[in-house]
Structure 1
């Protein structure tokens, strides 16, 4: 870096004192920068790049390299530590994309609705919440092919009845999903951080009694998604991709709008498809855990043909083209509709 600074200064025809004046520092400090005995601050690096017409990325990389060498050059395990940190740093350094005008407009409408709802939280009712959570269980299972009606789902969950003509799996799917909703509400109330243990626990609840050997465990076989051209990753890299999934979450959880964060975490999880079964339900529960944790309400994707096709098509576009706009807009629309309905129910 020291050679880079001196060469750039001389190329610009600036004397040390002139550069010091432009940078608003003592001339002696410029000499120390160029000799390597002192390091500029980050703010000074940005100013130097502008004054000396040096590419900011080139100068910043040189500056960071010297900082790292200064801190770690005498450490015995420095190289191993850097190798371990490399993948994680790649996720923390992921540039943040700006949202589109259409999505920004939708998010503003959602936040206006949430602000309206926040003023009337005292009108929240356990019975209303219970009814909406029942609907969520019914619709989320219907997306996956469960044939229980809303009324039958209620009888199974709240009355403990067995519905004639329906399979044991369908009964367990209803009971398990309702318990999983209770679990994510528990995590929200505890203000628990989303991590691997919690996601595996959610999945364990979803498949409990259905595939006990696979419940809460990553798949060990390759899978294909019926009706989709997206091919999930090979089983031997699932654990690594899930590690990256949580790195991404930590890097972005404070930078993104909660609805966008929730949608991204849904899409990323179902794209990895880490489980042999129950990926969709688990992904939607993770999405709704994030929404609830930020004061929003459950985004309930309907299981009718039209809604299901819109959901699947926007999801597949995100998975196969890396264009997530349609999926983000779809989830935002569902959250907006869910907020509007909730507000109309409580009559505010």
Structure 2
């Protein structure tokens, strides 16, 4: 790690004094980090990674390696201990996921029954309900972004191509763009294409088409965020066949809102990713009702889950919404 830090500082043409000022770390400590006589804290590693533009994962792995070597490197049974530690870390992850799944299994079973009932309806009924749910998903999604179009106005814009008096052109474009994004996700689902970076960025371009040209389809210019999104898609690829779709979709939403990869539209993209995963697994859209109470609850649950670092809070919320939406879908068909 000492070489990583020193080489990166010299490549940027910084003196230890200058780096110390930028990082708000004592100059003597910077020198000791580079000589290997002192180890930085985790917060200092994060700060130095950003300032020196060192890949965060690379620096963290080097930092953790040195911590491990310092603690057990000279012990006779160090290697055997490391093997056991790795096994325990993997088992702990499995136990956490297993415990979460066990706690929500009953409601997941109820959701499967509701989902199967919807898919037992004939093609005409299923098509009609799908069209209704799509329009509602678009309306509620843009409403969450404070678009003033009502549900009926949204229908007129999307189905009749009408212009609503008193509503801005941007309001109309947002609804049209979100419809295009929804259709694009349906097309990807039919082609069995899972969430991926290329189409994820294209969706961002679609929803901002016509009024957000420079930053659309691009992450913010921050190497740390780009790295976090790389890790996000690596995580998704490794978990897409292991986690229950509702857990996978909820966690994907949480991760995107925490990373905030775009200058604008992070909430919309998190919701699109969530529903892309759900639709691909034959669930219905998870949409937040347009009333203020439901919107406040959504933001409150999202914030609580992030503050407490407890994904189960948000996962349970999404599962409850999915169950309610499936019930309503059945009621629409059986009317």
The TM-score with structure 1 as length reference comes to 0.68
Q: Which residue of 2 aligns with 1:4?
A: none
Partner deviation per Cα, 1:197-226 (whole Å, 9 max, x = no partner):
011011111111121111111123xxxxxx
Q: Secondary structure at the match of 2:100?
A: coil
- Shift, 1:128, TM fit: 2.6
Q: Which structure 2 segments of 5+ residues have no match?
A: 1-76
- Shift, 1:173, TM fit: 0.8
CA distance in 2, matches of 1:217, 1:56: 44
CA distance in 2, matches of 1:100, 1:276: 34
Q: Which of 301, 304, 316 pairs up with 2:288?
A: 301
Distance 1:336 1:150, change over 3 A: same
Q: Secondary structure at the match of 1:174?
A: helix
- Shift, 1:126, TM fit: 2.9
Q: Does 1:127 align with 2:128?
A: yes
Q: Does 1:271 align with 2:258?
A: yes
Q: Which residue of 2 aligns with 1:206?
A: 207
Q: Which residue of 2 aligns with 1:280?
A: 267
Q: Which structure 1 segments of 5+ residues have no match?
A: 1-53, 65-89, 221-234
Q: Which residue of 2 aligns with 1:75?
A: none
Partner deviation per Cα, 1:239-261 (whole Å, 9 max, x = no partner):
10000101111121112111111
Distance 1:120 1:59, change over 3 A: same
Distance 1:55 1:310, change over 3 A: farther
Distance 1:63 1:192, change over 3 A: closer
Give the RMSD, CA atoms, in angstroms: 2.7
Find runs of 4+ consecutive structure 1 residues off by over 4 angstroms.
Answer: 54-57, 61-64
CA distance in 2, matches of 1:153, 1:63: 53
Aligned residues: 255
Bigger shift: 291-300 or 125-134? Answer: 125-134
Q: Which residue of 1 aligns with 2:184?
A: 183
Q: Does 1:332 align with 2:314?
A: no
| Contact 2:249 2:277 (C-alpha < 8 Å) held by counterparts | yes
Larger Rg: 1
Q: Secondary structure at the match of 2:318?
A: helix
Q: Which residue of 2 aligns with 1:95?
A: 93
Q: Secondary structure at the match of 1:191?
A: coil
Richer in helix (by share): 2
